[in-house]
Amino acid sequence: MARLSRFCPPDIPQHVIQRGNNRTVCFSDHHDFAAYANWLKLYSEEFQVAIHAWVFMTNHVHLLVTPANWNGVSKMMQALGRRYVRYFNHRHHRTGTLWEGRFKSNIVQSETYLLNCYKYIELNPVRAWIVEHPSNYFWSSYRCNGLGTESKLCTAHEEYLKLGSGKNERLEAYRVLIETHMDAQLINRIRNAVNKGHALGEKHFREKMVDIYGRRVGPAKMGRPKKVSSDPTF
């Protein structure tokens, strides 16, 4: 099934994935991770995109973001991608493409799926058997959202702020959330949504997007088109 065209309205969270070409390495050491994080901060500010959660893996990146303007995410990712490729190629004495085509993204319904996306992103190193707990992986937002480490890159979403009346209460609630089981069906739903560009949300959320923006944000209806009569009546 064809992927939906890019849809980047303002003030609606998006899950973003950027992969290395053919799943090859795009971060070889901490210098590369740090360079990417630095430019992500720079361009998120320039294009007014709030960063809520992230994880930088060896061959791909996950971000959870909210743009303030139309196409802010696309502008940020294009500028970041070009800047990082120039750096990576120069530092590692290589030429050619680094990323696997265009990045993938989808909008996320805040009240039902946003915190699940936080969790999905920050547990990526655990699912990959790199660490036993997200607190042991340096290049993710868990240290901010779960441990309270200060970061100029991280902006708390309002759904995260609702976890508690104060910082310590929110941190504790978030750690409990991370420890709760995430079933395979939910994981697959998050993966399929971002890979196909479908909205991650309930039916009423998808219908609302269609009503407001006049475009489909989910899979097309299945079934054959209706047969047109060869002798229509007018």
Q: What is the chain's pLDDT, residue by residue, as a tens digit (234 residues)?
A: 456 667 889 999 999 999 999 889 999 999 999 999 999 999 999 999 999 999 999 999 999 999 999 999 999 999 999 999 999 999 999 999 999 988 999 999 999 999 999 999 999 999 999 999 999 999 999 999 999 999 999 999 999 999 999 999 999 999 999 999 999 999 999 999 999 999 999 999 989 989 988 878 877 665 454 444 444 332
CATH topology of domain 14-213: Alpha-Beta Plaits (3.30.70)
Q: CA–CA separation, 140 vs 121, rounded Å?
A: 8
Contact of 39 with 230, CB cutoff 8 Å: no
Q: Please provide the DSSP assignment of 155-219 as one string.
A: ---HHHHTT-SSHHHHHHHHHHHHHS---HHHHHHHHHHHHHT--BS-HHHHHHHHHHH-S--SP
Q: In what order do the strands lie in the sheet with 14-19?
A: 49-56, 60-67, 14-19, 104-107
- What are the residue ranges spanned by the domains of the chain? 14-213
